[in-house]
């Protein structure tokens, strides 16, 4: 037996207690447990044993082990303890080969160190009784992100429905501002995690990118006070703040035949003008970002419509000429 009062001794004691209670089909009275587990026998006073046993029971329950207390005395109210094997054990998850492959792959999706460790444990449990097969996805390395430190506490807060506090840096502003939020949805979109919730100070629905949270997240004990409205669409809200909203504004460009490949890829329609130029019809989203993209092509792409896009590109190019003044011969 390991030296008393060491983590190893406690590990041994908790394992022995777990196994003893799992192997018994009927509730076991405390005095009998004391005789079954060696470490308990070595405790001299009843009080010390009682304290140790109480702590151990709490530890097992905190681990998720379903330890139950039942009355066993017929005439007196004596109590017994039991861990029901059916409640304890993970039911066998009978996975076909292709299903097992995707679950294995899913368990490697996390970039976050803690979640990666948790997923590896979960995979070992689910695949405990499976043959070690060849991994059909060797070479496939998904990354689910979640590497932001804020992920874990926010995940807990979303699951338990409790409000949170953190400092948040909005893009384009200096410094971070404290925010109090009732979390509704934790959403991964294009490899990044976002929190959608009710901002308690602004009294409105807000989206937060986890990578912009600059402080530790404090999970309060305050339950959510504002119910999630039915019409909240987290994806739409995230898309709106992160500039990947669906393209909507039409534009017509003149593009040299051997250029503008990325523009052509998104085109609704490409029609030839002559052997040097094509006319490309496409949809775009932000005016400014699209003007930059067009400017990057230099003389290979010319805006035909609309006028405001044409003007934005002209301004953009003029700025480039201005800052490089003195370079032209």
Partner 1 sequence: MSRPSVESATSRVQRLLTMVPWLVSRQGIEIEEAAAGLGITEQQLVADLDLLFMCGYGQMPDEMIEASYEGGRIFVTNADAIARPLRLSVDEAISLIVGLRSLAASGAGESSAVERALAKLEEATGSIPGMERVVVVEDDTQVGQTTAVLRDALAAARRVHLTYVVPSRDERTERDVDPMRLAHVEGHWYLEGWCHRAQDVRLFRVDRIEQVEVLDEASTPPEGVARRDLSAGAYQQGAADVPVTLRLRPAAHWVAEYYPVTSRTTSGEDLVVTLPTSNEGFLRRLVLRLGGSAVISGPVELRESVATQAAEALAAYSSP
Span 280-309, contacts to partner 1 by CB under 8 A: 291-293, 295-300, 302-303
Q: Check residue 268 for interaction with partner 1 (CB under 8 A).
A: no
Q: Which two three-digit tokens encode residue 3?
A: 């030296």
Cα three-residue angle 143-149-150, rounded to 5 degrees = 105
Q: Which two three-digit tokens encode residue 56?
A: 């151990």
Task: Select from 74, 91, 248, 274 the one that contacts partner 1 (CB under 8 A).
Answer: 91
Q: What are phi and psi of 208, to 5 degrees?
A: -125, 130
Residue placing its CB nearer to partner 1 in the complex, 120 or 177: 120
Minimum Å gap between C-beta 74 and partner 1 is 26
Task: Select from 68, 190, 218, 273 the one that contacts partner 1 (CB under 8 A).
Answer: 190
Residue placing its CB nearer to partner 1 in the complex, 200 or 255: 255
CA distance 67 to 88: 9
**CA-based nearest residue to 111, from 137, 140, 139, 147:** 147
Q: Check residue 243 for interaction with partner 1 (CB under 8 A).
A: no
Q: Say how many residues touch partner 1, by CB under 8 A.
A: 120
Residues 193-222 that bind partner 1 (CB under 8 A): none
Task: Select from 67, 115, 164, 251 the one that contacts partner 1 (CB under 8 A).
Answer: 115
Minimum Å gap between C-beta 198 and partner 1 is 13
Please, are residues 95 and 126 in contact by the beta-carbon 8 Å criterion? yes
Task: Select from 18, 215, 247, 249 the one that contacts partner 1 (CB under 8 A).
Answer: 18
Residue placing its CB nearer to partner 1 in the complex, 221 or 324: 324
Q: Check residue 49 for interaction with partner 1 (CB under 8 A).
A: no
Residues 50-89 that bind partner 1 (CB under 8 A): 59, 62-65, 85, 87-89
**Three-class SS state of 5:** coil
Tokens 């979303």 map to which residue? 158
Q: How far is CA 279 from CA 8, 142, 263, in A?
A: 75, 39, 11
CA distance 166 to 183: 12
Minimum Å gap between C-beta 75 and partner 1 is 28
Tokens 């059916």 map to which residue? 86
Q: Check residue 320 for interaction with partner 1 (CB under 8 A).
A: yes
CA distance 256 to 295: 14
Give the length of the chain: 329
Q: Check residue 4 for interaction with partner 1 (CB under 8 A).
A: no
Q: Which two three-digit tokens encode residue 137?
A: 């996805």
Minimum Å gap between C-beta 257 and partner 1 is 12
Q: Check residue 136 for interaction with partner 1 (CB under 8 A).
A: yes
Q: Check residue 3 for interaction with partner 1 (CB under 8 A).
A: no
Give the burial string for 119-131 (b: 16+ CB within 10 Å, else e).
beeebeebbeeee
């Amino acid at each position: 037996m390991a030296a008393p009062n060491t983590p190893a001794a406690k590990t041994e004691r908790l394992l022995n207690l777990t196994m003893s209670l799992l192997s018994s089909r009927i509730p076991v009275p405390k005095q009998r447990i004391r005789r079954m587990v060696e470490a308990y026998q070595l405790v001299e006073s009843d009080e010390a044993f009682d304290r140790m046993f109480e702590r151990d029971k709490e530890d097992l329950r905190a681990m998720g082990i379903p330890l139950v207390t039942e009355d066993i005395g017929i005439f007196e109210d004596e109590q017994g303890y039991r861990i029901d094997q059916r409640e304890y054990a993970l039911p066998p998850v009978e996975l076909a080969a292709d299903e097992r492959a995707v679950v294995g792959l899913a368990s490697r999706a996390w970039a976050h160190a803690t979640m990666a460790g948790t997923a590896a444990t979960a995979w070992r449990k689910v695949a405990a009784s499976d043959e070690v097969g060849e991994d059909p996805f060797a070479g496939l390395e998904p990354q689910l992100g979640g590497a932001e430190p804020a992920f874990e506490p926010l995940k807990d807060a979303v699951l338990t429905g409790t409000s949170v506090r953190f400092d948040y840096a909005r893009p384009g502003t200096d410094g971070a501002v404290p925010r109090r939020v009732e979390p509704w949805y934790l959403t991964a979109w294009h490899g990044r995690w976002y929190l959608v919730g009710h901002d308690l100070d602004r009294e409105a629905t807000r989206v937060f990118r986890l990578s912009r949270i600059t402080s530790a997240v404090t999970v309060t004990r305050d339950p959510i006070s504002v119910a999630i409205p039915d019409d909240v669409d987290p994806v739409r809200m995230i898309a709106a703040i992160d500039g990947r909203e669906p393209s909507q504004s039409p534009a017509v460009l003149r593009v040299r035949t051997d250029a503008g490949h990325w523009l052509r890829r998104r085109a609704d329609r490409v029609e030839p003008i002559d052997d040097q130029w094509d006319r490309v019809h496409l949809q775009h989203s932000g005016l400014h970002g699209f003007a930059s993209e067009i400017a990057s092509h230099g003389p290979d792409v010319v805006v035909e419509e609309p006028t405001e896009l044409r003007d934005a590109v002209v301004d953009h190019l003029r700025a480039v000429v201005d800052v490089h003044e003195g370079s032209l011969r």
